[in-house]
Structure 1
Amino acid sequence: MAVDVRWATIKDAEALATVLCEMAAHYRQAPLDHGRATATARQWLDEESSAYPHFALAFAGREVAGLASVAIAHPGIDLERLMFLKDLFVRDSARSKGVGRALIGFLAGYCLDKGIGRIDLTTEDWNEGALRFYDRLGAERHGQKVFLRLSGEALKAIAGY
């Protein structure tokens, strides 16, 4: 299967929304309203900086096949920036067809072109498929960090709301 990967633009809002809705269902979240997801995707893509795009989309033929959501952080090791891969998701219909590898390859090429020294990511400890995928790519497991989250009431309390 030929896979084309590119940075998403506002013209890709519908495609991004399609993947976001399928991703929510896959992770057993409440279903997303496709219209609301499209409007949100359009807003996000309209606000994206051309210097640091945040969504890469993979297409197989004319169909959207997956996404990578990333952020660039400063500074990294030796003053090299780092890319944080927040989400990598491949639609069920495109699994095991090279879409995830194409997305990661696209991101790796971007990093090398822009002087970004590494890609950091997390995955759930129960997600054996993702762990095998990243192992095959040569990802190193770093157990020295603890993943923490501030959200909901804790976020409000810290902000003084």
Structure 2
Amino acid sequence: MVEISKATEADVEVISVILGEIEEYYGGENIPGDLGQIRTALFSEQPAATVLLARDGETVLGLASYSRLWPAAGADTSLYLKELYVREAARRRGVARALMAELRKAAGRLGCSRLEWTADTDNPTALALYEALGVTPHQGKIFYRA
């Protein structure tokens, strides 16, 4: 049974390990994230993001990291999904779907008018998931990184 909950400061170490796995997934080295940076980003007075963790008992299966963005449409706020990641052993078990469902609920609780995210064009598994969820790509934006 997959259970989704908001990460707490007690989860910093497992988040660190998963960040290393994410780096490796995208072709980098599997080096865990810096614990101090994670604590500051997630649990300081003004956190940069919120992390949801998917668990099966004590085992963390995956995570979703999001932030609120403003303005979205007019003066609305949107929930921006920065990272959705399911650990290899837990893939194809509905974990990503459960995380996406909880993200939609979080957006509603936070008064966000929409949920937004990007996906790599060379990640067919992610693209298939989003298509299966009934979401079509938005063609009106180009992503930049400086």
Same-fold call, TM cutoff 0.5: yes
Instruction: Report 1:81-96 matches (<5 A).
Output: 81-96=77-92
TM-superposed CA distance for 1:69, in Å, is: 1.2
Whether 1:10 and 2:9 are equivalent positions in the alignment is yes
> What is the CA RMSD across the aligned residues, in angstroms?
1.8
Instruction: Identify unmatched segments of 5+ residues in structure 1.
Output: 151-161
Note if contact 1:48-1:54 (Cα within 8 Å) is conserved in structure 2.
no
Whether 1:59 and 2:58 are equivalent positions in the alignment is no
Instruction: Report 1:8-157 matches (<5 A).
Output: 8-32=7-31, 34=32, 37-47=34-44, 49=46, 53-150=49-146
Which structure has the greater CA radius of gyration? Answer: 1
Indicate the structure with greater helix content.
Answer: 1
The one-letter amino acid of 1:127's match is N
Structure 1 consecutive aligned stretches of length 4 or more whose deviation exceeds 4 Å: none
Note if contact 1:84-1:121 (Cα within 8 Å) is conserved in structure 2.
yes
Percent identity, aligned pairs only? Answer: 32
TM-superposed CA distance for 1:27, in Å, is: 1.2
SS in 1 for 2:120: coil
SS in 1 for 2:121: coil
Tell me the alpha carbon deviations over residues 118-155 of structure 1, each in whole angstroms, 9 at most, x when there is no partner.
111111111111000001111121111110011xxxxx
CA distance in structure 2 between the aligned counterparts of 1:79 and 1:43, rounded to whole angstroms = 28
Instruction: Identify unmatched segments of 5+ residues in structure 2.
Output: none
TM-superposed CA distance for 1:72, in Å, is: 0.3
